[in-house]
Amino acid sequence: MDSTVVSTGTEGKTWGGGNQPLKSSYGKMMMWFFIVSDALTFSGFLAAYGFSRFKFIDYWPIADEVFTHVPFLHGQELPMIYVAFMTFVLIMSSVTMVLAVDAGHEMKKNKVIWYMFFTIIGGAIFVGSQAWEWATFIQGDYGAVQTKGGNILQFGTYKTIDGEEVFKRIAVEDFTTASHTDRTQHENKNGIWFVGEGALPAFSVSDVFHGLESHPDVLVRTQTINEEGEKTVLSRAASLKQVKNNGKRYVKGANLEVNEYGTPLFADFFFFITGFHGFHVLSGVVINIIIFFNVIIGTYERRKNYEMVEKVGLYWHFVDLVWVFVFTFFYLV
């Protein structure tokens, strides 16, 4: 039986699409596939953050009051300054990556080395800064009291600044003294064998109440945001009543269970999304270091192309772009 072979024009070519589908190499295509899938992952996380924030819009922490720290400038409140610095460093590292890719196209090895080096330094500064921000966020500043309903009560006093009365937070330890207690930390060796307990809080609710009672200028601020876009400050009588009747425990800093800044979901999303992005940046720094040393030993000179620099550059630009969205969602909006 005769058989007819129909020519498709793809004989000898990879999976019928040629070696460079859409005029891109197989490696770059795979990098684009990864970037698209990872972008969808981040989109899902940020969408979940947006829905949760909308649901608790009246209780969500105000970023300008949370991210006020700058290394080596303790005690000064500089809202968003350090986060802006981190963002600038990451964006500039993207610029140096562009220059490295451009130098690779021109086969200028020394320029590629220097621009890759600056990119790595920028990424390392960002990762280190994010680790510092995490540590500061976890440690906390002022402390607060969590109510039986799970709300957060913060403390402060009104001060006159430029002729205007402004509410300024003060640390619980500034007006509270820990009382003696015989309570010991529960451990599995002296209680139920399968139950453990974290570190005991520095103060009891009773300690905080007595400290508040003895300082008439100290007031309670709830996590509820009023019509002016500020958290609600209670009267003196209401402050004492809230702490005495509804106070459950003293908290300081933030973790996955509770935080002094407001609703626990804020800390949960902060740790998860910024941690996931930080892992991407750290991975990018490690990959950049590997490519950097390959450039130094002349691997890509012998290949007659610097496509690997271009591929890792695509990943690095993606990481920078994602941070722009994370920065907008968490810090600006």
Distance, CA of 284 to CA of 253 (rounded, Å): 30
Distance, CA of 119 to CA of 131 (rounded, Å): 19
Distance, CA of 131 to CA of 126 (rounded, Å): 9
Q: Looking at 252, 274, 294, which one is the last position of a domain?
A: 252
In terms of DSSP bridges, do strands 164-169 and 144-147 run parallel, antiparallel, or are they unpaired?
unpaired
In terms of DSSP bridges, do strands 219-225 and 152-161 run parallel, antiparallel, or are they unpaired?
antiparallel
Distance, CA of 95 to CA of 93 (rounded, Å): 5
Residues 6+ positions from 281 with CB-CB distance below 8 Å: 90, 123, 126, 127, 130, 319, 323
Q: Looking at 252, 282, 314, which one is the last position of a domain?
A: 252
Please indicate, yes or no, if residue 125 is contained in any of the structural domains: yes
Q: Is 235 in a helix, a strand, or coil?
A: coil
Asked if 251 and 146 count as a contact pair (C-beta separation under 8 A), the reply is yes
Please indicate, yes or no, if residue 168 is contained in any of the structural domains: yes
Task: Let me know whether 242 and 316 are in one domain.
Answer: no
Task: Let me know whether 136 and 269 are in one domain.
Answer: yes
Please indicate, yes or no, if residue 260 is contained in any of the structural domains: no
pLDDT of 181: 58
Query: In this predicted structure, which of 55-59, 104-108, 321-325 has the lowest mean pLDDT?
Result: 55-59
Q: What pLDDT digit, counting tens, does each position of 193-220 carry?
A: 545 455 667 788 888 999 999 989 999 9
Amino acid at 33: F
Task: Let me know whether 227 and 309 are in one domain.
Answer: no
Give the domain CATH number at 120. 1.20.120.80
Please indicate, yes or no, if residue 30 is contained in any of the structural domains: no
Per-residue pLDDT, averaged over 228-243, amounts to: 90
Q: Residue 284: pLDDT above 80?
A: yes
Task: Let me know whether 91 and 148 are in one domain.
Answer: no
Q: Where are the alpha helices (DSSP H) in 24-80?
A: 26-55, 63-66
Domain interval for residue 299: 42-140+265-332
Q: What pLDDT digit, counting tens, does each position of 64-76 carry?
A: 888 888 888 776 7
Q: What pLDDT digit, counting tens, does each position of 1-15 carry?
A: 454 544 445 555 445
Please indicate, yes or no, if residue 15 is contained in any of the structural domains: no
Distance of CA 193 to the CA centre of its chain: 36
Distance, CA of 191 to CA of 184 (rounded, Å): 11
Beta strands in 219-297 (DSSP E): 219-225, 231-233, 247-251
User: What length is written for the chain?
Assistant: 333
Confidence category of residue 187, pLDDT binned at 50, 70, 90: low
Distance, CA of 105 to CA of 242 (rounded, Å): 66
Please indicate, yes or no, if residue 117 is contained in any of the structural domains: yes
Closest C-alpha among 162, 73, 127 to residue 283: 127
Instruction: Report which DSSP code applies to 259.
Output: B
- Please tell me the total count of domains within the chain: 2
Q: Per residue in 165-203, is it b (16+ CB within 10 Å) or e — as a string?
A: eeeebbebbebbeeeeeeeeeeeeeeeeeeeeeeeebeb
Task: Let me know whether 221 and 270 are in one domain.
Answer: no
Tokens of 2: 């005769």
Please indicate, yes or no, if residue 14 is contained in any of the structural domains: no
pLDDT of 114: 96
Residues 6+ positions from 121 with CB-CB distance below 8 Å: 93
Residues 6+ positions from 188 with CB-CB distance below 8 Å: 194, 195, 196
Per-residue pLDDT, averaged over 210-234, amounts to: 89
pLDDT of 85: 94
Q: What pLDDT digit, counting tens, does each position of 291-310 carry?
A: 999 999 999 889 888 999 99
Q: What pLDDT digit, counting tens, does each position of 38-58 carry?
A: 999 999 999 999 999 999 888
Please indicate, yes or no, if residue 49 is contained in any of the structural domains: yes
Q: pLDDT over 70 for what percent of the chain?
A: 86
Query: In this predicted structure, which of 104-113, 142-151, 189-198 has the lowest mean pLDDT?
Result: 189-198
Distance, CA of 36 to CA of 318 (rounded, Å): 9
Confidence category of residue 98, pLDDT binned at 50, 70, 90: very high
Q: Residue 25: pLDDT above 70?
A: yes
Amino acid at 23: K
Task: Let me know whether 247 and 151 are in one domain.
Answer: yes
For residue 231, what are the β-bridge partners?
225
pLDDT of 5: 46
pLDDT of 182: 55
Task: Let me know whether 246 and 159 are in one domain.
Answer: yes
pTM of the model: 0.83
Residues 6+ positions from 187 with CB-CB distance below 8 Å: 196, 197
Confidence category of residue 21, pLDDT binned at 50, 70, 90: low
pLDDT of 227: 80
